């Protein structure tokens, strides 16, 4: 089912515009993300209980909140998500959406999508939790998602947990907050950011434009 929201004009133009599905699994307000992706030149649908994702050129999995609730709400469509990713459709997980790409979390019971090997851990107790506000990236690996991004750029974070991938090569940028954690990940057509690009000003818009370019091929 496609959810319509007032106040954000739909992308208009050629039928050749790439189509993106934002999966609404009941975690977070998706309005600003939808608008930001439209401004990146994509045709965006917010889907609730999607029966098929095969007609979309890219998938975005956003979210804030609890790992258990997110995993439970995604369970009915986890196989559909895995199938389109296997077919090569780009998938972008944001904040909780990035954490749900992994297998499990210290936050609560529940099985993630297991598209990437690893777990989600709590930030260390010697820093204020949640990590809320602006922070930078240390880019480790060149990747199209971070094209034009440098280590002076600030991004907006809100989280208490972080992804700990089993495969270090998927980490393309780190951020330090009590510990150096994976803030951007990428493996083939799977991407994720712990920060919210739609709330991160010009650098965040650049990341979303880069994802749009990846989707368009």
Quick check: is 95 catalytic? yes
- Total number of domains constituting the chain: 1
Express each pLDDT in 91-119 by its tens digit: 999 999 999 999 999 999 889 999 999 99
Quick check: is 196 catalytic? yes
Q: What is the CATH number of the domain that holds 172?
A: 3.40.50.880
Distance of CA 22 to the CA centre of its chain: 10
Catalytic residue among 131, 159, 198, 209: 198
Express each pLDDT in 123-168 by its tens digit: 999 999 999 999 999 999 999 999 999 999 999 999 999 999 999 9
Express each pLDDT in 28-70 by its tens digit: 779 999 999 999 999 999 998 766 898 999 999 998 889 999 9
Catalytic residue among 131, 159, 196, 209: 196
Strand partners, 134: 156
- Measured CA to CA in angstroms, residue 120 lies from 17, 69, 152, 154, 158 at distances of 35, 15, 27, 23, 15
Quick check: is 198 catalytic? yes
């Amino acid at each position: 089912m496609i959810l319509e929201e007032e106040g954000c004009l739909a992308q208009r133009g050629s039928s050749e515009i790439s189509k993106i599905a934002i999966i609404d699994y009941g975690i977070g307000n998706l309005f600003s993300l939808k608008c930001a992706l439209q401004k990146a030149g994509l045709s965006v649908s917010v889907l609730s209980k999607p029966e098929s994702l095969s007609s979309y050129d890219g998938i975005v999995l956003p979210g804030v909140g609890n790992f258990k609730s997110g995993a439970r709400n995604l369970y009915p469509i986890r196989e559909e998500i895995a199938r389109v990713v296997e077919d090569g459709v780009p998938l972008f997980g944001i904040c909780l959406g990035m954490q749900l790409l992994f297998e499990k979390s210290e936050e609560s019971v529940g099985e993630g999508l297991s598209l990437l090997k690893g777990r989600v851990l709590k930030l260390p107790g010697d820093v204020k939790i949640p990590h809320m506000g602006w922070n930078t990236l240390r880019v480790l690996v060149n990747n199209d998602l971070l094209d034009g991004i440098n280590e002076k750029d600030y991004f907006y974070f809100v989280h208490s947990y972080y992804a700990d991938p089993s495969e270090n090569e998927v980490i393309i940028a780190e951020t330090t907050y009590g510990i150096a954690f994976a803030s951007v990940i990428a493996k083939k057509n799977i991407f994720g950011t712990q920060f919210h690009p739609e709330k991160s000003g010009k650098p965040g818009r650049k990341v979303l434009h880069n994802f749009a370019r990846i989707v368009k091929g």
